[in-house]
A and B are shown apart, each in its own frame.
Chain A
Amino acid sequence: MIYYATSILLILIGMYAVLVKKNLIKIVIGLSIVDNGIHLLLIAIGYVKDGTAPIFSKPGLQASQMVDPVPQALVLTAIVIGLAVTAVALSLIIRLYDHHKTLNINKIRKLKW
């Protein structure tokens, strides 16, 4: 239960940063926090009480006593996608800074909302 609460809190904190913060890099930080929250949520969904990691590394491990591997596989993919989006976002920020010499969203005409 605590995992669910933590992950939702993380998502909300990240979203708050995206919605309220004026600094471009802060907004991207917010996005990555949201991503982290969802990853935690997914892993928590797959957790099995007293389960073991889904690797048959030694004999005698029971499949029924293992945590669900699917969310883990999804999170692996999602982490890489998050990195890709962050990289593109940051490169855009470098471009924007080059043009505007500021990271403040209010001083960049089109980004006001």
Chain B
Amino acid sequence: MRKVIAILLLFIIGYYSLDVLLKIPFGESAGGVGKHYLESTIKETGAVNSVTAIVVSYRGFDTLGEVTVLFLAATGLGAILYDKKAKKRALQNASVIVKTSSKIIYPLIALLGAYVFVHGHLTPGGGFQGGAIIATGVLLMFISYRSFETNHKALSIIESLAGMTFVTIGFAGLIYGTSFLQNILPFGIPGELFSAGIIPLIYIAVGFKVGAELTALLDNLLKTIK
């Protein structure tokens, strides 16, 4: 019965959404704000990658919100899974080969993550991707070494400081410029590493923050109950 109702409902939703979507022309060149962003990214933000320019500069406020959402998830998860007695992770020790190779690979992954978030304004990628890559590297260590511990204190300090840096950069824009999160630094030469004003700074802060948050999140998940 429930299945029939669900399928009927979904059929209606599907029909109408297709009906609406078919009215949208597919593959036409960007109009509206998208066109404006493409035409003036370099001029207005100094970034070569216009997706990054939008994420960090034009819609930087969304990114602040996005960072908050991740922080919120890490906090909420910590609150929901909170336990007075700290638990050990219940994973087996891996074989020597895995251990040795992950020891070698781990710094490389961390380096790759850092590269991705530092070059966010030039190449695809940025703070979130870089942070996620770093967290996967730490996970590799978690899996291979039973005793591998992250420094919780340091993680939470990094998290906090990176978040505060983001907000502070925002306020700096308000104080030294005219609006919150305004790009107050010189843009430099587009395409070079040290360009695009505050974009790399924000992405570095985001990268650290996301890396620390996701690591803490994984650690919390791995350690709780059972």
Name A's B-contacting residues (CB within 8 A): 1, 3-5, 8-9, 11-12, 15-16, 19-20, 41, 44-49, 51, 53-57, 63-73, 76-77, 80-81, 83-85, 87-88, 90-92, 94-95, 98
Contacts and interface: CB of A to CB of B under 8 A. Distances in A.
B128 A87 contact: no
Interface stretch (B67-75, B84-92, B109-117, B145-153): B67-75
Nearest to A72: B51
Given A48-B29, A72-B51, A92-B80, 5 more contacts: A4-B21, A20-B2, A49-B27, A69-B54, A87-B217
B119 to A, nearest CB: 11
B30 A68 contact: yes
Interface of B: 2-3, 6-7, 9-10, 13-14, 17-18, 21-22, 24, 26-30, 33-35, 37-39, 41-42, 48-51, 53-55, 59, 62-63, 65-66, 69-70, 72-74, 76-77, 80-81, 122-124, 126, 128, 190-191, 217, 220-221, 224-226
Nearest to B67: A80
A9 B21 CA distance: 13
A13 to B, nearest CB: 9
B128 A4 contact: no
9 contacts: A48-B28, A57-B122, A63-B38, A66-B38, A69-B54, A76-B66, A84-B69, A87-B74, A91-B76
Q: Is the interface of A mostly helix, strand, loop or mixed?
A: helix
A76 B67 CA distance: 12
